[in-house]
Amino acid sequence: MPNLQRVVVKNYRSLEEIELYSRGVNVLFGPNGSGKTTFLDAIWFVRDCAIRGVDEAASQRSHGIGVLWDRAEQNSHISIEIETERAIYSIEFGFSSGRIEAFVGERLRSKYNDKLIFERIIGSDKAKFFHSGLSKFVTVELREPERLALSRYLDSDSDLSEAKEIHLLLKYTRKYNARSADIHRLRTYGSEFVSHQRLYDRCQNLWSVLRNLRDRQDWGKTEYETIMQFMRKSFPSFNRLALEAQGTNSVYGNFIEKDHEEPIKASGVSDGHLQLLIHLTALFSEGTRTNLILLDEPEVSLHPHALAVLAEAVEEAVSTWNKQVFIATHSPVLMSQFETEDIIASEVGDRGQTTLKRVSEIFGIRDLLSEYAVGSLYMSELIAPQSKLETVADV
């Protein structure tokens, strides 16, 4: 059962109204500007609010200027709802002077008894928490109202199972955009020491994370070896990494090829080697901890064979390492590696709104799917076309 079961987004950029029941693997593809990355960002936006606070999350998105669906009615809000096994949590963003209001609306419901657990309205610095001991709602003044009431609720004395589930989902959500990875830093300067195994969003701590995995006695060995196995499978000449300390506070990565004694510095290997190493580290470095991992265009710099191996790694991460993965991609090769139930076509509707539909549910192509790869049908524009049909001459 995936950790994140359902996402509903309203009025966020091109996502006028989207509902998606998620699976372990969720591969989004479609025309440029059809809303794939926006959908990932909607999830990440909620995560940012939970971890960094609403102000910072909004400032990362131009303070909300221009993010409201442009055909939304006056006084409309952006709302994002996420559903886990036990809870449904929704967050509503209001606007003041065109910017996102820091005091957001929130609501947490239990799925077991369909009861409201807490609620806060947009613009309020107070929230109503259901107190299980008193069996009633109590109004609580929020100490930091620009932070989510969800965080405050976790400090209360109430039954926390639903809130914890949402909190942990957001806390352990990761997002990696292959084009934003700081490859230059990794090649030129290495990584500063960190003591944990979480890969940062821009991946600048890659070498340090890998060294931690390799050297720790209590955890990390299996994770590290899994990453190396997939690297060897992708790149037949790859043998292992040589991670070396640089001075007192940084680590640098070297690649050892088969039949070569001399290591190749990270500055001398292909972007594809580094990109795949990043993806594999993102998938496995945190071991069996439940993570929601969002990968935006992971196909960058990768050969078709490496993409097939990446897909295999994603499947393994989902089936045995407790990961749930969302991928936004344009790669026909990558999408073709997954089951049709896991692949979601993102298209632009007649009013410019995003529509999402699982490939397995698209009427009119099922007969072709039994024979052809999904990516082939994407390339032929039978699914999620970018061009429009035209007439040359008529009578």
Partner 1 sequence: MSESCYYFTFLLFVTGKGEREHLPKLFKELTTSGICSFKVVEKIGQRRAITSPRRIAKMVGKGQMLPSKDFEQIGAPARRHLQNAPCARLLLIDDLEGLDEADASAAFQRYRRALDEGLREHKERAAVHFLVRMLEAYFFADVEATNQALALDPPIPSYDQDVETTIEHPKSELKQQYFPQYREIEDSGKVLGQLSLNTVLASPERCASLRTCVKWIVEQLMAYPTPNYVEQFSFDERFHLQTGQLYVVTENQEITQHPGTD
Contact positions vs partner 1 (CB under 8 A): 304-305, 307-308, 311-312, 333, 336-337, 364, 367-368, 371-373, 375-377, 379-382, 385, 389-395
Q: From the CB of residue 19, how many other CB atoms can be counted at a distance below 10 Å?
A: 12
- We find the least distance from the C-beta atom of residue 107 to partner 1, in angstroms, to be 40
Question: Which CB, 337 or 353, lies closer to partner 1?
Answer: 337
Which pairing describes strands 95-96 and 99-100: parallel, antiparallel, or unpaired? antiparallel
Question: Which CB, 4 or 307, lies closer to partner 1?
Answer: 307
Question: Which CB, 26 or 336, lies closer to partner 1?
Answer: 336
- We find the least distance from the C-beta atom of residue 296 to partner 1, in angstroms, to be 21
- We find the least distance from the C-beta atom of residue 139 to partner 1, in angstroms, to be 54
Both tokens assigned to 7: 């996402």
Question: Which CB, 166 or 334, lies closer to partner 1?
Answer: 334
Q: Is the dihedral of CA 11, 15, 19, 23 positive or negative?
A: negative
**Euclidean distance between CA atoms 26 and 8, whole angstroms:** 15
- We find the least distance from the C-beta atom of residue 74 to partner 1, in angstroms, to be 35
Question: Which CB, 58 or 333, lies closer to partner 1?
Answer: 333
By C-alpha distance, which of 141, 248, 123 is closest to 192?
A: 248
- We find the least distance from the C-beta atom of residue 169 to partner 1, in angstroms, to be 30
Q: Roughly what angle, to the nearest 10 degrees, separates helices 304-320 and 271-284?
A: 10
* Coil vs helix vs strand at 323: strand
Question: Which CB, 31 or 263, lies closer to partner 1?
Answer: 31
**Euclidean distance between CA atoms 355 and 359, whole angstroms:** 12
Phi/psi at 57 (5° precision): -60, -40
- We find the least distance from the C-beta atom of residue 22 to partner 1, in angstroms, to be 22
**Euclidean distance between CA atoms 340 and 342, whole angstroms:** 5
